[in-house]
A and B are shown apart, each in its own frame.
Chain A
């Protein structure tokens, strides 16, 4: 389990998160909803070990996280992957897509063109796109590459921070399908962050709501999901 408990993050004097707890359970999709600016992305960065909270703890499969960012132990770091809303700032603009996807493999000391092709196929990227640089592909194609990169080391937890907000309905349905298949196949835990309750209703097993500060409370709403599902089916 990936678990944040009592997490507080401050940017200057402003608290972005205050005493927030959340669990991401393997084999399930946890939806995280809340209004713009409520701290969803900050929580995503804390859970991905990319931001040290000012207070509170994060444990990863029972191991407390003591170091963050590049100082986090590799075996912990590679267990969590984070996918951003905007793919463009998330990639090195100089690298062709094949290298973007292969970055984690190379960093882990096991580069593999076959694995890159496999990942590309999984996310629906055709071979001719792998030689292109980010400015030569669309947002949808670049986000597919970012998803392939996120899955490269088979993370045990995948955090999707508004992964499809910039994408059209068809690409969204495809990428959510890829994540869902991966999660079912590997038993990974997924945190799906979105402001779109309709999407979370179709995707998540449960949804937690993050309120606005200073009264930050979680409400779990199986009921609300059921309502959305009824509308959808």
Chain B
């Protein structure tokens, strides 16, 4: 398995009147072929901004720094942050990276049939296959294609959006809150579709606030808080034994667990506190937390030390001075 996407030190800021919004701060992670990484966190934590930054889809007041290396095949790597518009438009979007959007029903153009939109996508990408063939692979009948978006059920709209995202046979698929507004059976079906993409050898980056959806599909999990990754590792391990107090609180807040909210609210991204941003809400905070904790494995190695680590399972890392593992040991 190779790293299809390697993100390092990625930061995104927005200039707004009188302030700077630090939406993403120093994100580092990798997405490997055949695996799904779920990026979870509450609304407004910066996870969607991160996905859009990778595709160059942010508005003009955004500044992106850091690096994101995409494996383009044939030994070639494209650095997405510094890539020109032309490279992003002609090589990356739709071809190397497919985007599965939030709420597919509203993403489709309401006044054109599913077929017209699929055909347009295929034509722009210069893809050899026909709309019917592509749709068939995504569980749509030819008759469904002649429907307008308002005539499609949630599940069918989802399949049309998936078909469009995959028309260019991308190596990496970004799914940005793909389950918004879907009921549980449809969420399960959407997650099964993502799983199939992994089985085909694609890499999937799933952005979601829905921990149960993430649990169904993700190999690896990264938890984001106030624009920073605070915990990452194998999904099953992070969900079963979270180390960061925020991750632990988020997992415990689910209705099938304690169903108790984390006290307080996330900080404003225009006025992030120094040090750990979770400090004001954290029951374990101490003076040490005034210094920003680095992502580290329990034995103290920082994450950078293993970034080249090949096929090994992802290491469980956490950015916390008082991680829960420490107290158990």
Contact = CB atoms under 8 A, between A and B. Distances in A.
B186 A36 contact: yes
A195 B183 CA distance: 6
Interface stretch (A66-74, A75-83, A133-141, A152-160): A133-141
A201 B261 contact: no
B267 to A, nearest CB: 10
Contacts of B181: 36, 85, 162, 165-166
Interface residues of B, number: 30
A172 interface: yes
Given A165-B181, A196-B184, A198-B256, A170 B44 contact: no
Interface in B154-185: 154-155, 180-185
A201 B251 CA distance: 18
Contacts of B265: 124, 126, 141
B255 A138 contact: no
A165 B255 CA distance: 12
A201 B255 CA distance: 8
B253 interface: yes
A169 B211 contact: yes
Nearest to A175: B261
A167 interface: yes
Most chain A beta-carbon neighbours within 10 Å: one of B186, B209, B250:
B209
Main secondary structure of the interface of A (DSSP, over half): helix
B254 interface: yes
B263 to A, nearest CB: 9
A36 B152 CA distance: 12
A105 B221 CA distance: 44
Interface string B243-277: 00000011101111101111001001000000000
Contact of B253 (A85, A170, A201): A170
Contact of B185 (A35, A137, A167, A168): A35
B268 A170 contact: no
B209 A167 contact: yes
Interface string B182-197: 1111100000000000
A139 B155 CA distance: 24
B43 interface: yes
Given A36-B186, A198-B255, A231-B256, A167 B261 contact: no
Contacts of A232: 255-257, 259
B74 to A, nearest CB: 40
Nearest to B186: A36
Contact of A138 (B43, B154, B249, B261): B43
A172 B186 contact: no
Contact of A196 (B155, B186, B255): B255
Given A35-B185, A124-B265, A174-B261, A165 B253 contact: no
Given A173-B255, A173-B259, A138 B250 contact: no
Contacts of A137: 44
Interface string A205-233: 00000000000000000000000000110
B154, B183, B251, B255 — which one has the most chain A CB atoms within 10 A of its CB?
B255
Given A36-B153, A141-B44, A202-B259, A169 B254 contact: yes
A36 B181 CA distance: 9
A128 B257 CA distance: 32
B123 to A, nearest CB: 31
Interface in A30-57: 35-37
A120 B209 CA distance: 24
A112 interface: no
A140 B264 CA distance: 13
B261 A170 contact: yes
A169 B262 CA distance: 9
Contact of B44 (A37, A139, A176): A139
Contacts of A113: none
A199 B153 CA distance: 24
A187 interface: no
A201 B254 CA distance: 12
B42 interface: yes
Contact of A172 (B41, B185, B255): B255
Residue picked from B41, B153, B182, B262, most chain A C-beta under 10 Å: B262
Interface string B42-73: 11100000000000000000000000000000
B253 A167 contact: no
B24 to A, nearest CB: 15
Contacts of A128: 268
A173 B257 CA distance: 11
Given A140-B44, A141-B44, A169-B211, 15 more contacts: A35-B185, A36-B183, A37-B153, A126-B265, A138-B42, A165-B180, A165-B181, A168-B43, A171-B261, A173-B255, A198-B254, A199-B255, A202-B256, A232-B256, A232-B257
Interface of B: 41-44, 153-155, 180-186, 209, 211, 249-251, 253-257, 259-262, 265, 268
12 contacts: A36-B183, A36-B186, A138-B42, A141-B44, A166-B43, A167-B209, A169-B211, A171-B261, A173-B253, A196-B184, A202-B255, A232-B259
Interface of A: 35-37, 85, 124, 126, 128, 137-141, 162, 165-174, 176-177, 195-199, 201-203, 231-232
